[in-house]
A and B are shown apart, each in its own frame.
Chain A
Amino acid sequence: MSASVSAPVRTPAAAPASASTPASTGSVPAPTAKDFASDQEVRWCPGCGDYAILKTIQQLMPELGVPRERVVFISGIGCAARFPYYMDTYGMHTIHGRAPAFATGVKLANPELDVWLVTGDGDGLSIGGNHLLHLLRRNVDVKVLLFNNEAYGLTKGQYSPTSREGTRTPSTPEGSVDHPVSPLAFALGAGARFIGRGIDTVRPRLAGVVRRAHAHRGASFIEIFQNCPVYNDGAFAGFTARDRAAAAQIEVRDGEPLRFGRNGEMGLRLDPRRLRLEVVEPGRDGVADEEVCVHDETNRVLAQLLIAMEPPDFPVATGVIHCAPAPEYVEAVAAQRERVRAERGGAGDLDALLRSGHTWRV
């Protein structure tokens, strides 16, 4: 295991600065969070977790240093998919499930753009599961924010592919009988090279994960636990409630021991014989500090173990769970085109092409 894999990291156009003190770019006033807010009236239900996520992204934007006109938000259909309307950037509100395909086309035609994709559990993992799979496996340089509220909001509360078994909704009055999909396990299985997790209302931590996703070249995938107070209120309260959070969540950081609890008194240890993690309390029961696993975000196997942790036996992992850059799709496409051009003596000559092969004169 090596934590020192050199990762090609995108250089922002302007030096990063903290959200509260936007970068100064000389005489032109530096953009602020307000500059990224559109004039459209936000139409989510009061108390929706989407508000906190929108605020987090709008505040993060100036810091990322990408000129507004190069920022693109693309979405499909659903509550989350209204997101682009509220960002004063370029945006496309597309059709159900297909946003990854639109985003791929946008990137192919205009690689300079900084493309973000906002989706939900229904849009991204039900109708659009196939497209998400292929965006991730191709490793297109797009940042995917999946708002997981374990419900269909816009269509009025049906269960979703992430709803837990037994979820009672208008379409499952006796409780759902199908097994939910884990967004991060799906993403990792699809070959994602960056996966992270955040919680709508834990804004600085969410911002940290998004910041890292932005710096990653290639597809990045972030699952955001988003509370839907109307149709699935408190779905994540089991680990997000203030009094439980410390014991029920673990924020993973590359190179640091996997510890959690109010004072970091708990830790995760690998049981090598059964190949699984276990919760331990270092300093008690003869468990030494060194026995606690150290997070290595390049380790895909560790990522799998961390994703699989669920309450009540385990804390829920948040933060950057996996980051292992690989060649990016659009760059590879461009490189191939340039190679072909070099081999064939530059840009194509249409008149010569039309006259190639067997011709005759009349």
Chain B
Amino acid sequence: MAAAQELVKTGGRPGVRTVLSDVVVRFAGDSGDGMQLTGLQFTDATAVHGNDLSTFPDFPAEIRAPAGTLFGVSAFQINFGTGEITTPGDALDVLVAMNPAALRTNLADLGSGGLLIVDTGAFGAKNLRKAGYDRNPLENGELSEHRRIEVDITRHVQEAVAEFGLTHKQAVRCKNMWVLGLLMWLYGRDREPTVDGLSTKFAHLPAIRNANIAALNAGHAFGETAELPGETGPYEVPPRRDTKPGLYRNVNGTEAMGFGLLAASRLSELPITFASYPITPASNLLHALAARKEFGVTTFQAEDEMAAVCAAIGASWAGGLGVTSSSGPGIALKTEAITYAATVELPLIVINTQRAGPSTGMPTKAEQSDLYQAVFGRAADVPLPVLAAASPAECFDVAVEAARIATRYMTPVIVLSDAYLANASEPWRIPDVSGYEPFPPSFRTDPEGFHPYLRDPDTLARPWVRPGTPGLEHRVGGIEKGYDTGDISYDPDNHQRMTDVRTARIDGIAESIPDQGLEAGEAGAPLAVVGWGSTWGAIHQAVRRVRAEGLDVAHVHVRHLWPLPRNLGALLRSFGSVLVPEMNKGQLLRLLRSEYLIDADGLSKVAGRPFRVNELEAEIRGRAEARS
């Protein structure tokens, strides 16, 4: 057996690294090429280097797509830089294409002059045909506007790992580590944590471990020694200087939401019953919580969407905190039960990881088209609070806030995330949960004067009673209830009163949420860009850029979508004009217009992918210049 492979450090070529402020890299390959893993490893190394970053994985909807096909391409994108990074980036600076299909599906995103790294070993006739190429694009000059590193990675890797006695298949699977090694050389990343990680991961498979490390070293050495085109590398992207001190980790929206629910459980002192039915892209939250049983969370994979929400409501009625999660079509199925929870006035958290619709639509792609559903989508007149996270890490705080509102006001709360937030990741300053205000509910235990619908004068919430409490036996149901007693009532005046109080209770939540602030700019600006949900990152960058040019543009991001912050109307009226970019056909736009009778324009994008900073920037600049 060969000796254990170690990190190989060489002197490398002399010379200085060219300094860059930010870079966008996409790793693209076949589903089996390990691009997600490569991306995550590069992300970790980049975080350690001190850059700010944002990542987004893009994997095929098909589970085991045939090798080499266009729809089997799996990609991972990272944007990292010296300044603040809030999106995975627009045009690519570097595209790694591990086969012809990856090249074909990703080439359009590579900026002109961008660096293309291809594995020529995967450009055989069969793969070219599967990708729909008549002729080899590496040979006919169509890639001439790009700098290219065309190398037979397959052969290089086979040579590098020859001594470890792997099968051909096992050897070729180390290709991703070779690419990682090359990228690490290009951007001066420390390979040591990666080597440590590989050693742990393959502790019981020494040959595989050694081969992966050897491939990593070989890719790195290639960068140091080979002749690279043009001015290519090596580069330095200096660490971000203004990062708030603290302990950091990377987190995607799904992880943050899961952590947030666990924190909500601790802060409310309520065990969580998380009931869900599998649906893309929401299922990962079920998986994340199912793996955390030690926190007392009970996960229930129900027989369907209706059962999931009903079980969650049952859990809340029984004195726990019921949570259900789905995506738009699943939320539609849950609607009747959500309405029931609204009328029996029980806490419930409903998480909608929105995807591109309608119907099955594009399950792995992002959209913000369920805002109407969240705010209005119920039979009858019963409003519910709606919150939306602006970034992956913010899902943590949104989950906590949802639990606070649900338990304080005895109401279902709808939380909007989306397929982008769920999968995108960013560095997260790990919060100190002990610094959060706990909100344990006070369960009613006193039978004296008890009625199930007697309301708290401040919140208008009815008492929460744990079944098992002697003397408070009572019934709840969907039939209209007498104002205090909760007894069945068909009295017309009572129905008016109950409908009014249900509305007033939800409207009153506005008293306990922060006033609407500004992300950038000030009230009275000639132009304000108003967003919600996952578009925050792109809007933030676009507004920052035009403001750097001296244009007076404000950015308002609405996190509490219902009830809206008390000052929002006045704030919006102060602006000369309002632009509302959304990944839908103008849902917040109409909501704001109808609530505040303001003039506002929309900017709609429903392409299954987030706004690019450039396209927003161009739109905002055009409008701002026209106004100044």
Contacts and interface: CB of A to CB of B under 8 A. Distances in A.
A359 interface: yes
Contacts of A104: 300, 302, 307, 311, 314
B11 to A, nearest CB: 27
Nearest to B193: A358
Given A333-B298, A357-B249, A359-B249, A94 B478 contact: yes
Interface in B419-435: 430-434
Given A70-B467, A92-B317, A40 B249 contact: no
Given A40-B487, A105-B315, A113-B467, A348 B294 contact: yes
Contacts of B310: 94-95, 98, 101-102, 105, 131
B479 interface: yes
Interface string B536-549: 00000000000000
Contacts of A348: 262, 292, 294-296
A346 B337 CA distance: 35
A94 B337 CA distance: 9
B44 A358 contact: yes
Contacts of A74: 314
B243 A88 contact: no
Contact of B468 (A70, A101, A354): A70
B293 A340 contact: yes
Q: Interface residue tally of chain B, by bracket?
A: 35 or more
A348 B259 CA distance: 12
Interface in A57-107: 67-70, 72, 74, 84-85, 88-95, 98, 100-107
A337 B293 contact: yes
Nearest to B339: A95
A353 interface: yes
Contacts of A95: 310, 336-337, 340, 478
B45 to A, nearest CB: 10
Contacts of A53: none
Contacts of A346: 294
Interface in A102-160: 102-110, 112-113, 130-131, 133-134
Given A68-B473, A353-B259, A109 B318 contact: yes
B82 to A, nearest CB: 14
Contact of B337 (A88, A98, A347, A351): A98
Interface in A322-356: 333, 336-337, 340-341, 344, 346-348, 350-351, 353-355
A359 B487 contact: no
Q: Interface residue tally of chain A, by bracket?
A: 35 or more
B302 A101 contact: yes
A108 B315 contact: yes
Contact of A130 (B304, B313, B319, B467): B304
Contacts of A109: 271, 273, 298, 314-316, 318-320, 322
Q: Which of B303, B322, B433 has the most CB of A within 10 A?
A: B303
Given A91-B475, A106-B315, A337-B298, A358 B250 contact: yes
B244 A362 contact: yes
A154 B293 CA distance: 43
A91 B344 CA distance: 12
Nearest to B396: A354
Contacts of A105: 273, 275, 300, 310-315, 317-318, 322
Contacts of B488: 40, 85
B248 A110 contact: no
Nearest to B307: A101
A135 B241 CA distance: 57
A113 B313 CA distance: 16
A361 interface: yes
A101 B314 contact: yes
- Interface majority SS (helix, strand, loop, mixed), chain B: mixed
B320 A110 contact: yes
Contacts of A134: 302-303, 307
B433 A69 contact: no
Contacts of B336: 95
B75 interface: no
A58 B432 CA distance: 53
A344 B244 CA distance: 33
A68 B471 CA distance: 9
Interface in B323-353: 336-337, 340, 344
Given A109-B315, A110-B320, A359-B247, A353 B273 contact: no
Contacts of A24: none
A357 B43 CA distance: 13
B469 A355 contact: no
A336 B317 CA distance: 24
Contact of B294 (A70, A94, A347): A347
Interface in B235-250: 243-250
A91 B337 CA distance: 17
Contacts of A360: 47-48, 247-249
A15 to B, nearest CB: 21
A90 B475 CA distance: 6
Contacts of A93: 475-479
Q: Which of A70, A91, A358 has the most CB of B within 10 A?
A: A358
Given A92-B475, A134-B302, 8 more contacts: A69-B470, A93-B475, A101-B311, A102-B313, A104-B302, A105-B311, A353-B292, A354-B430
Interface of B: 44, 47-48, 50, 193, 243-250, 259, 262-263, 266, 271, 273, 275, 292-296, 298, 300, 302-304, 306-308, 310-320, 322, 336-337, 340, 344, 430-434, 466-479, 487-488
The list of the 4 closest CB pairs from A to B, nearest first, reads: A105-B314, A93-B477, A105-B311, A109-B320
13 contacts: A69-B472, A93-B476, A95-B337, A106-B318, A108-B273, A109-B314, A109-B322, A131-B303, A354-B259, A360-B47, A360-B48, A362-B243, A362-B245
